[in-house]
Each structure stands twice: as structure tokens, then as C-alpha cells.
Amino acid sequence: MKSLLLLLAALLCSGSAWSARTPFQVQCEDTIVASVAALTASDAGYTIDNTLSYKTLTRMKGQQGSGNVVLGLTKTESRISFALAGPMLADPLSGYECIAPRVTVSLSYVPIVIYVGSEFLPGTCAYQQILAHEMRHLKAYLVHLPKVGIVVRAALKQRFAGQPIYAPGGQAKMLLEQEMGTGWMPYIKNEMGKVAQVQAAIDSPQEYARLSKVCQGEVQSLIGLPKMK
């Protein structure tokens, strides 16, 4: 992303370096609509699934061989999309063009699924304890999304600060698409992915140990483990 930003900045600066604003610059900067960057962040809700065994959930999380069994699991995937539009002007004298980009970025989760092992019947003590743990994961996802929105919205606003982008003829939109695809997308994915650190902290060894002993040994008896003191 940095190289693209430097390229676009250089193009803009080269235009600004002309002895005075040319009629083309005046037209681009004073007459076409200012650049706009918008962001939306939303989740699609969640469902609870009690049809899979704890062994299946353990395999889904990749915990086999770790010594930990997975009693519940919260799964989702993030989605990032963007749309580009905006008026363009071309200057046949200089061979340059300008675009006032309208960048719209959308962040979302696919519907979140909370799994509770089928060994644990709804309404039982073990089920309620496992579900409460998974609801912490759900909350972490829901809290993280608007935080990413704030960070990314501020970065977009700083980048597209109401000024047009200049480029050689026929390249403005292409450069903008390239910047979004190779620069902004990895940046946003990295911000979205930071929730993994929070989720890992929830699944601490201490929490695994606590869940294995809740409800006076109900969990161990249901999955066939010896009761722990």
C-alpha cells in the first residue's frame, strides 16, 4: 500500500508543482464533487447449534492431540467489500486525468454460529456454563467490529481528504482499484484479524480447566473423563 500511496502522492505533487494552478486543476479541484470515503460495519446475528458432538467440535477447532477437548465453539468469518465510483475529468493538453473518488467499504460477519456439544442438553447446568463461555466469544466479535470500523473510517478519511486524485490518462481508476485491492484490503483484514488475540485469551488454560470441573463433575461424566478435584 505504501508504494501506491507514494505514487499517487507523487502524481498529485507533480501537478501541484506547476507554476500555478492550471485551468485543469481549477476544474478538478473547484468544480467536481469532493472525494468521499464511507464505511459501514454490521453483523448478521447468531444462531445456536446443539447437533454436533464435542469430538466433532474438537476436530473443527484443531485441538486433537493438544490434550484439550472442545465443549463449545463459536465460528464466523469476516467479509470485506468495497465499491469505487466518482466523477472524472480528462485534460488532453497534459495527458492527465483526475477522479474525485467515492470509496465505500463494508465490513461484516457471516451469521455467527455458536456450537454447544450435543452431549449437553439445553437447560442443564453444563449446557448453561458452556453457552455462557461461548457468549463471551460472541461478545468479543460484536465489540471488535465497530472498533475496526472506527480505525478504518479514520484512515480512509485521512487518505481521501476531499482532494481529487491525478494520474496519467486512463490510469486513475485502475490505480485506485489497485490501491484498494493490494493496500487497503490487507490492512483491513489485519485489523479484523486482531480479534483472534481476544478470542485466544478467553480460551485460556485456566478457563479450560474451570469448564472441565463445573456442575459437580457433570461435564466429565457426560464425556467419559475421570472426575477431577
Select the more confidently predicted residue: 205 or 221.
205
- The three grid cell numbers given for residue 80, joined into one nine-digit string: 470485506
3-state helix, strand, coil in the chain (%, to 5): 50, 20, 30
pLDDT tens digits along 63-110: 655 567 899 999 999 999 999 988 999 999 899 999 999 999 999 999
- Asked if pLDDT for residue 180 goes beyond 90, the answer is yes
- Is 229 inside any structural domain? no
Predicted local distance difference test score (pLDDT) of residue 105: 93
- Is 124 inside any structural domain? yes
pTM to 2 decimals?
0.79
Domain of 99 in residue numbering reads as 2-223
- Secondary structure of residue 215 in the 3-state scheme: helix
Select the more confidently predicted residue: 20 or 138.
138
- Is 38 inside any structural domain? yes
Alpha helices in 31-80 (DSSP H): 54-61
Q: Which of 14-18, 58-62, 192-196 has the highest mean pLDDT?
A: 192-196
- Is 228 inside any structural domain? no
Give how many domains the chain has, as a whole number.
Answer: 1
pLDDT tens digits along 64-77: 555 678 999 999 99
- Is 189 inside any structural domain? yes
- Is 218 inside any structural domain? yes
The per-residue b/e assignment along 113-142, b for 16 or more CB within 10 angstroms, e otherwise, is ebbbbebbeeeeebbebbbebbeebbebbe
